[in-house]
Each structure stands twice: as C-alpha cells, then as structure tokens.
Amino acid sequence: MIDYFVFSIIIINSAKKDGMDENVLNYLIAKPGHEHKVSDFDTDHTGTFKKAYISELMSENKKKISKLQNILYANDRYSVLIIFQAMDAAGKDSTIKSVMSGINPQGCQVFSFKQPSSEELDHDYLWRINKALPEKGRIGIFNRSHYEDVLISKVHPEILLKNKIPGIKELKDIDEEFWNRRYRQINDFEKYLTENGTVIIKFFLNISKEEQAKRFLSRIKDKSKNWKFSSFDITEREFWDKYMSAYSAVLTKTSKEWAPWYVIPADNKRFMQYVTGQIILNTLSSLSLSYPEISKEEKNMLGVIKKNLLKEIDEDK
C-alpha cells in the first residue's frame, strides 16, 4: 500500500538503541517525476515505532532544532520555508506548536493564509506569498499556502471568477491547460527560491476521513474546543473525494527534487509530530551550518577586551 520513496540524509544513531524500525526515521516522499494518488499512502502507518521513547526523542530533537536555528540566524545565508497543507482537523496547528516550541521567536514567523483580501485579489496569487517569505537566517512557517490556489480553487473553481484573471470569464475557461500552467508557475517560483538560498520543506498531513470525523466529534463534545468547529468544515467534508483528487494532482505535479512533498501519516498525532520534527532536524543538519568566522584582527581585539574586562572585575572585588 505504501508508496513512500526513501530519501535518507541522516539516520539517527539512537535508532537501533531505542529498538525502533529505522525505516520510520526515513523521509516519506512523494517521489518526484512519478504519478501519485493520496490513496497510495497510509494515514495510520507508524512502522514498529515504540511509543515509550517518543517524548524523550521529541525533547532531544527540539533542543537540536533550537541550536541549529541559532546557527542559521547567525550564518545569515539560508532561509527555511516550512509549508503545511492538510484537510481540516489533521493537526497543522498542534504540530507547529509541538515541533517548533523550542525555537527562538526572533528567528521564526508563522503565517496563516485564509480567504484573500480585496487588496490581494488586485495582485497575482503569489503576491501575498512573496510578502510573507522568510528573510535570510529565519524560519518561515506557512499554515496553508499558495497551494490553496490549486486545491480549494480546484474544488471550487467559481472562486477564480472573482480573481480578475485575464481570459477567465466563465467556468469553461478554467481548463486543464489553466491548471498545468499554475503547477508550472509554482514549480518555477519554488525553484527560484531554492536557487537563491531558501530551503523549502513541504508537508502534507494525510488524515483519513474516519479520523477526521472522530476529531470533529471531539471538538463538539469538548466545550473548550467548540470554537475550533465550523459548519463550513462539514460542508467541505462533502467534497472529500474532490479534495483527494486535487491533492493527488499536487503531489504528482509539484513534488520536485528541489522541493519535494513529504506525506506524513496523520491519524496518530504524536507520531506525526515526531516524524515532522525529525524531517526538519535532518534538513537543517544537511545544510552544514556554522557560526561566522571572524578575522585574526577581530580575534586579537577580543583577546584584549577579555583581558581588560577580567582585570576590571578583579579590581572591583
């Protein structure tokens, strides 16, 4: 059933020690250049992963991610863009909170893209994305992204009639050529970003329809979660098959070597959070980041300053 392409950069040394299946620690990628269907991927796969170690491992990974983020900030040559896409209740918010809780807020920013404003509709669909891109040295997180323009817009193409697109006046104008053009534009956009120092990590949190129903019920039963529930969520659930078709096209058309899609089983939240964090950690580690080197003159100057400060402290005692 699983059509995962193993793309290992780093295998955690503790894998055998902790008794886990090493395959669990590999990247789960929608293989670039291949046709994909969401149904090819399991939503509840956890391998032989032992839950007893998950809290410890996640805690260790958070510390490592935090350290690498500090070096990323000081290095100031790369930026990291993390994209989350998923159906409602898949766990985007909780995953972002869980995985990135150890990050210095000064080096990280989160954007949630919802219905475009009138100003945004007066620009091309990537304009608002460009505005939110992370600067060098920073991590940017997109909770939903430019992919909404080939997901919700594909399920509800009538939305595009409001976008003032040349040549698009009726629904019949939105044909396969239109969508292929958008996929190509997104691929070109992301390739441009990666060629200029932005590392892109794209996660599709793959939840089953059955698990989504359980989480909706949980939100209804728990008064503290009622605010999370919207009747719109149920309305969109009726279009599940169309969304799966749209996601399948996204995985097929936009999973590229420079920005592949990672399809994360989302029925088990804890496992999903662990694997997502592991992929982020592995990606940061692969950059071989280091703190900036200072010149010999600057080192000598620091030596003199250190000597003077120590002398000053001794005199104050």
Which tokens sit at 154?
């594909």
- pLDDT tens digit sequence for 155-178: 999 999 989 999 999 999 999 999
Residue 79's DSSP bridge partners are 198
pLDDT at 242 over 90: yes
* Mean pLDDT for the stretch of residues 190-203: 98
Encode 43-62: b = buried (16+ Cβ within 10 Å), e = exposed: bebbbebeeebbeebbeebb
What is the CATH code of the structural domain delimited by 5-316? 3.40.50.300
Is residue 8 scored above 70 in pLDDT?
no
Segment 49-70 mean pLDDT: 87
Amino acid identity for residue 110 in this structure: V
Is pLDDT above 60 for 15?
Answer: no
pLDDT band at 49 (very low <50, low <70, confident <90, very high): low
Residue 92 confidence (pLDDT): 96
Average pLDDT of 15-22? 39
Q: How many other β-carbons are positioned within 10 Å of the β-carbon of residue 95? A: 24
Q: Are the beta carbons of 200 and 280 closer than 8 angstroms?
A: no
Q: What pLDDT does 26 receive?
A: 45
The predicted pLDDT at position 137 comes to: 96
Checking if the pLDDT of 24 tops 50, the result is: no
CB 142 within 8 A of CB 111: yes
Taking a C-beta distance cutoff of 8 angstroms, is the pair 53, 47 a contact?
no
Region 59-77: what's the mean pLDDT?
95
Domain boundaries, the chain: 5-316
Q: Do 140 and 109 contact (CB within 8 A), yes or no?
A: yes
Identify the pLDDT of residue 229: 79
Q: Give the chain's mean pLDDT.
A: 88
Split at pLDDT 50, 70, 90, the class of 50 is low
pLDDT band of residue 317 (cuts 50, 70, 90) is low
Q: What is the pLDDT of residue 9?
A: 33
Reported as a pLDDT band with limits 50, 70 and 90, residue 48 is low
> pTM to 2 decimals?
0.89
pLDDT tens-place string over residues 272-303: 999 999 999 999 999 989 999 889 899 899 99
